[in-house]
Amino acid sequence: MDQEFDIVIAGGGVAGLTAALTAARLGCRVLTLIGDILGGLLLSIDKVDGFPGFVDGVPGYDLCPMIQEQAVAAGAEFTATSLDSIEQQNGGWQISSGNEQLRARAVILATGAALKELGVPGEERLRGKGVSHCASCDAPLVRKKTVAVVGGGDSALQEALTLADFAERVVVLQRGSALTAQAVYRDRVANQPKIELRFDSIVEEILGDDKVRGVRIRDAKRNAATDLEVAALFVYVGLQPAAGYLNGHMKLDPLGRIPVDAQMRTELPGLFAAGIVRSGSAGRAVASAGDGAIAAVAAERYLVERI
Ligand SMILES: Cc1cc2nc3c(=O)[nH]c(=O)nc-3n(C[C@H](O)[C@H](O)[C@H](O)COP(=O)(O)OP(=O)(O)OC[C@H]3O[C@@H](n4cnc5c(N)ncnc54)[C@H](O)[C@@H]3O)c2cc1C
């Protein structure tokens, strides 16, 4: 493989894939490093809501391969490796990826985010043994059981609804006194009798030796702890942006995301960021796709202007 590209994109989620499609269609030689797995966060979502063109939603594990297919047809190249570090070099960028050194005239960072952990005792020990980040994957395993979901945002309620199709009872544990999810999810939850909402509930410990058997919850108002018997615990308490590879190259925002302007340009020449890894992302899949397209157009313009 020739190691020199017009644009290298880091990230195989909807932002990176859309950037690859758009840049390839603009005639750029583009390589996308997809990281661990194609699809990013959407991979584990059974029904991506609100993506234009799909009235009944679309499985994330279908959507991303479809975009990749379009990008490949437009001439984009892909590799299943990660971006480890980048350095400015001769007016372009040098990218370390595993044992390889790549060169690109512009780089688009679309490395997304990982679901945050709770950081409580039992979580590490019981991961994959009832502690899960993927309701769609594990819902069939909790048929007719009681499970808990931690969080009160869109993801938590969306995944509680998925679980309610299988489980007997879904207890949503929210540390604050209100939900932060959009009205559409709040309404759906209100109409799902299997879902019970518990506010001011802080998970202190996950109980069980070789599989989850319960969770210890502190009531923030009464400052009292109780145990709830559950067969599994699904954690949706926010996202941790994946930008560690920047390693001091630029100041991130207070949430650890990459600052950009309206064209997805970072403060460094030829370096762009798109999707939920960038500051001010709207968080939805369609917005991430839009970011990818904007970044690709801006990167192509940058390359043309430098010739
Ligand atoms: C539970 C849940 C449900 C959701 N449901 C919806 C929904 O119904 N509708 C909706 O519109 N949105 C939904 N979202 C939001 C949606 O998932 C995100 O907006 C979207 O996935 C963001 O895409 P992205 O490409 O920016 O990042 P990601 O999806 O996080 O993709 C990032 C990619 O970068 C890769 N990567 C990471 N580090 C590196 C590296 N160093 N080098 C190379 N690659 C790297 C990862 O492997 C991954 O492929 C949901 C999110 C969650 C958590």
Angle between helices 14-25 and 60-73 (to 10 degrees): 20
Residue closest via CA to ligand 1's atom 32 equals 112
| Strand pairing class (271-273; 100-109) | parallel
Query: Cα(259) to centroid of ligand 1, in Å?
Result: 18
Mutate to test the pocket of ligand 1, among 45, 85, 161, 258 (most ligand atoms within 8 A of CB): 45
Query: Cα(58) to centroid of ligand 1, in Å?
Result: 15
pLDDT of residue 306: 84
Q: Kindly state if the Cβ of 8 falls inside 6 Å of ligand 1.
A: no
Query: Which atom of ligand 1 lies nearest, measured to the CA of 239?
Result: 53
Q: Kindly state if the Cβ of 68 falls inside 6 Å of ligand 1.
A: no
Contact 285, 59 (CB under 8 A): no
Q: Kindly state if the Cβ of 16 falls inside 6 Å of ligand 1.
A: yes
Measure the CA–CA gap between 53 and 70, rounded to whole angstroms.
Answer: 16
pLDDT of residue 191: 97
Q: Kindly state if the Cβ of 40 falls inside 6 Å of ligand 1.
A: yes
pLDDT of residue 107: 98
Mutate to test the pocket of ligand 1, among 32, 36, 41, 64 (most ligand atoms within 8 A of CB): 41
Q: Kindly state if the Cβ of 243 falls inside 6 Å of ligand 1.
A: no
pTM, to two decimals: 0.94
pLDDT, one tens digit for every residue, the chain (307 residues): 458 999 999 999 999 999 999 999 999 999 999 998 899 999 988 889 999 999 999 999 999 999 999 999 999 999 999 999 999 999 999 999 999 999 999 999 999 999 999 999 999 999 999 999 999 889 989 999 999 999 999 999 999 999 999 999 999 999 999 999 999 999 999 999 999 999 999 999 999 999 999 999 999 999 999 999 999 999 999 999 999 999 888 999 999 999 999 999 999 999 999 999 999 999 999 999 999 999 999 999 999 998 7
pLDDT of residue 249: 85
Measure the CA–CA gap between 12 and 177, rounded to whole angstroms.
Answer: 36
Contact 91, 106 (CB under 8 A): no
pLDDT of residue 245: 94
Query: Cα(35) to centroid of ligand 1, in Å?
Result: 12
- Going by C-alpha positions, the residue among 114, 232, 113, 238 that lies closest to residue 175 is 238
Query: Cα(306) to centroid of ligand 1, in Å?
Result: 32
Mutate to test the pocket of ligand 1, among 111, 182, 246 (most ligand atoms within 8 A of CB): 111
Q: Kindly state if the Cβ of 153 falls inside 6 Å of ligand 1.
A: no
Q: Is 304 left (phi over 0), alpha (psi -120 to 50) or beta?
A: alpha
